[in-house]
Structure 1
Amino acid sequence: MKSILYLLLWAALGTIILCEDDPTESLAGVHDLTPADFDKIVNGGKHALVEFYAPWCGHCKHLTPEYKKLGEAVAKDPKLKNSVVVAKVNADDHREIGERFGVRGFPTIKFFGRGKPVTAPEDYNSGRTSEAFLAFLHEKVAADKGFARIGSLDALARDFLAAADKTGASAALKTAAEKLDEAQKAAGMLYSKFAEKAAAKGGDFFKTETARLERLLESGKVGANKAAEISQKLSVLTAFSPDDEEEDEFTKEQLSKAEE
């Protein structure tokens, strides 16, 4: 009789564990992708980390608690939330998606970089803990945030922040931007445009404009081209952020924790 009770107890416990580690479970901060919305969510406007899983896969079940923690952490971090998509797709049910990206085993995790072709994702081969995922994403965001930045204008942006004469500092930025070659001029004129608006509207302009653009990205209502344009503007706006160096130190700290 005791043996039967023990067997029933272990069976019940096993069922609970399987339910808790079900890869199909809806997770906060994690998009569940299907063929109908994959290209709407993973569109190059944001970085995207995507897990391709099968419900029966033991390693996928083991990964679920870590992916759950990752989704929750990203959802609570405004900068990651507005820069990164964390997603998963049942590549057993939706085999056409797995085949599209050359998925041969489970779980397969791929990284789709902002502004890069969706057809050429990067294989994720780092650690599979929430800490390792977060360090990887912080590193990608930190490396990418300055993609539209121009060193010479960054210095003038810092001068603008410190200047008493904002109009004069804005004019200096415009003059420098106009002298750039064609490859850099579009980004350079964004520096000038933002400085002119800040000179007219006051120092809070940079924060309010950043928040406005981040809300647009977060809405999911902009196409890939518009999302790339917004990302470029957000990149230039970071040049006017006094917190820029602090963010870099935070990223280094995250990477250090992941390596321990």
Structure 2
Amino acid sequence: MAVIKATDSDFASILKSNQHVVVKYFADWCGNCRLFSPKFKRLSEDEHFATVTFVDVNAETSPEARKMAGVTNLPFFAVFKNGNLVDTVAASKEEAVRTLIHKLV
């Protein structure tokens, strides 16, 4: 599944219309964020996570979406179930993100 790019204008509706959502918060200046992008795309294509919606949010241009997860560092990942925040992790290790996603499936 493709990674959805979201902004403040559509973030809440994406959370409402998808039961399981993992969000990667990034900034254009963040080198680790750019390095993690191919890993996030690969995770989105993993059949184990077929029921999970993968979303990218620019933390600098979407302050409301950032507040919903309490973003403290970048890259920052959050999982939402039925629109509610389940857990977060600030990491650039794929295993940490995989563990976070497993809280949904």
* TM-score, normalised relative to structure 1: 0.35
- Aligned counterpart, 2:12: 39
Q: Compared with structure 1, are the counterparts of its residues 34 and 127 closer, same or farther at alpha carbon in structure 2 (3 Å cutoff)?
A: closer
The two structures, once aligned, show a CA RMSD in angstroms of: 2.7
| Structure with a larger share of its residues in strand | 2
* TM-score, normalised relative to structure 2: 0.77
Q: Show CA shifts across 1:171-206 (max 9, x none).
A: xxxxxxxxxxxxxxxxxxxxxxxxxxxxxxxxxxxx
Q: Secondary structure at the match of 1:92?
A: coil
Q: Secondary structure at the match of 1:37?
A: helix
Counterpart-to-counterpart distance in 1, 2:44 and 2:9: 22
Q: Compared with structure 1, are the counterparts of its residues 106 and 136 closer, same or farther at alpha carbon in structure 2 (3 Å cutoff)?
A: closer
Aligned partner of 1:137: which letter? I
Of the three residues 100, 109, 112, the one matched with 2:77 is 109
Counterpart-to-counterpart distance in 1, 2:70 and 2:14: 19
| Structure with a larger share of its residues in helix | 1
Aligned residues: 105
Q: Compared with structure 1, are the counterparts of its residues 139 and 39 closer, same or farther at alpha carbon in structure 2 (3 Å cutoff)?
A: closer
Counterpart-to-counterpart distance in 1, 2:23 and 2:96: 15
- Aligned counterpart, 1:84: 52
Counterpart-to-counterpart distance in 2, 1:112 and 1:38: 12
Unaligned runs of 5+ in 1: 1-27, 142-260
Counterpart-to-counterpart distance in 1, 2:91 and 2:104: 13
- Structure of larger gyration radius: 1
Check whether the contact 1:111–1:124 (CA below 8 A) recurs between aligned residues. Answer: no
Say whether residues 1:69 and 2:42 are aligned partners: yes
Counterpart-to-counterpart distance in 1, 2:52 and 2:24: 14
Counterpart-to-counterpart distance in 2, 1:133 and 1:100: 18
Structure of higher RCO (CA pairs closer than 8 Å, 6+ residues apart): 2
Within a 5 Å distance, the mapping from 1:1-260 to structure 2 comes to 29-43=2-16, 45-73=18-46, 77=47, 80-81=49-50, 83-113=51-81, 115=82, 118=84, 120-124=85-89, 128-129=93-94, 133-134=97-98, 136-138=100-102, 140-141=104-105
Counterpart-to-counterpart distance in 1, 2:61 and 2:91: 26
Check whether the contact 2:89–2:97 (CA below 8 A) recurs between aligned residues. Answer: no
